[in-house]
Chains A and B, each alone.
Chain A
Amino acid sequence: MFPADHTAHAAELLAVPPGWLAGHRGQTLEERAFFSGAALCQLQLALTGEIVPQAVWRDRLALQAAEACMVLDGRAERVSDLRDTLHLCRAGDLPGPAGEVALAWQKATARPLSRKPLQAALAQIARPEIVDCLDAGRAGPPLTRAATVLEMALTADPRSPAAALILADAALARALGWRHLLPLLALGLGAGELHRDGEALRLACHRAVSTAALIALRLAADLTRRAGVLQAVAPKLRARGAAAAVEQFLRRDAVAPGALTSLRSDRAARRFCDRLLALGAARELTGRDSFRLYGL
């Protein structure tokens, strides 16, 4: 692992794209394709380096993508509500419609990209054969493939924009040879753009990816800095099972103390979380006094 200050510096560099890239989206397909390509290239650096804590980054992006889907669906749930839903659903409870979408994104981004897990991730929010739409995106440049899959999936099941966006982002990741799906189109496409077709949709996808890549990079830089702090204080955490608990913070968007079973008791888990707060190595994410959730 890199020393914390070095890591933070590298992360800053990642998150600050060249001036000509930030804030420019272009008008014509050619211009937009140029900027989206450049943004994806910048993003690839964050994906391949060992600096960015990949798992927690994807987990938080997944939650943001789920929020974007709530907006598209006209639902009121935001990131904090979705996070609560995921953490307060016990065995035997159903997650409800918003929770299903959040779970779908979480599952789709957690595992390396392949058909079976993707189908399992989509099972509760769309028809199982929706995954066949992926086959439509086998040829052409990456964003053309993603746009084709998006259009196909929305035609096959117009009632599940979340499933269509998961598949489109999966097609994009696959076309780029990425190991995991990153939610980009989901973060960048607006409700009005979703139902365009042909070139208009491709234009919208290019703009969406340019915007979303920069959002993802800023988040990557922020999480890298926070993970650096956590790893720097990790040797000071002497509680039994502390290493496994730290690992949880590097993997998940949020952690409920009750889930930190490596610490062996609720009380020990609470003390561990309080200690992380005191050291500035984690945040409490809910702002509540009870049912608290912690994360980077």
Chain B
Amino acid sequence: MSGAREPEAFDRELAALAAQDRWRLWMQRLEAVLFASASPVPAATLARVVGQGVSLELLLSDLAADLEGRSFEVVRVADGWMLRSRALHAPVIRAAGDIEGQRLELSSFDMAVLAAIAYHQPVSRDELKAIFGRAISRDLLGRLQARALIATGPRSPRRGAPHTYVTTNGFLAAFDLQSLNDLPDPAELGELGGSV
């Protein structure tokens, strides 16, 4: 199939192991998969590396308990999971400075546009222009897209079929939201200047 390498076969069920060892190995496998991925891993993908029908929820909550007291934690993002350093260590990580290329590096106007997209999605460039009273550059939208915070949504049924923009699961991960319903109520955002 399109030259993709067949993944090596591995023993999912681990039937030969004692129940307790089996459980531990499954937890380690989940940890390894999460560790190796920079973005949230969908639950369906995780389910493929543990035994058929085993409760992912239980395994992950055991893993979370295991990571108690460590510098990172397992968190849920949208329909997936990821390992993330604990917020407590944020200043240290920033001071270490070795995270170039991972920082979002967004200006406050970038953030305002991102917020407008989050609240009004799917929203086209024209509609963003109406919200901000000035044209939003393709550069800016490209920057948000390159950081996987937004993606193209359905097209508008208008001349030229312009794309709309929507937020991604990466957006949820970056802002520690489980779903869009966790966005603050726009009515309560008055004190932020009402720019969204």
Contact = CB atoms under 8 A, between A and B. Distances in A.
Max chain A C-beta neighbours (<10 A), residue from B153, B154, B155:
B154
A96 interface: yes
B152 A128 contact: no
Contacts, number: 69
Interface in B139-196: 151-159, 161, 163-164, 166, 168, 178-182
The binding surface of chain B is classed by DSSP as mixed
Contact of A84 (B44, B154, B181): B154
Contact of B182 (A89, A92, A123, A159): A159
A238 interface: no
B131 interface: no
Given A88-B156, A290-B159, A291-B161, A96 B181 contact: no
Interface string A276-295: 00000000001010110000
Max chain B C-beta neighbours (<10 A), residue from A90, A92, A128:
A128
Interface band, chain A: 20 to 34
A159 B154 contact: no
A96 B154 contact: yes
A88 B121 contact: no
Interface of B: 42-44, 55-57, 76, 79, 121-122, 151-159, 161, 163-164, 166, 168, 178-182
26 contacts: A85-B154, A88-B155, A88-B156, A93-B151, A93-B152, A93-B155, A93-B163, A94-B153, A96-B121, A96-B122, A96-B164, A99-B122, A99-B154, A123-B42, A127-B76, A127-B79, A128-B43, A129-B55, A129-B56, A129-B57, A159-B179, A159-B181, A159-B182, A290-B157, A291-B158, A291-B161
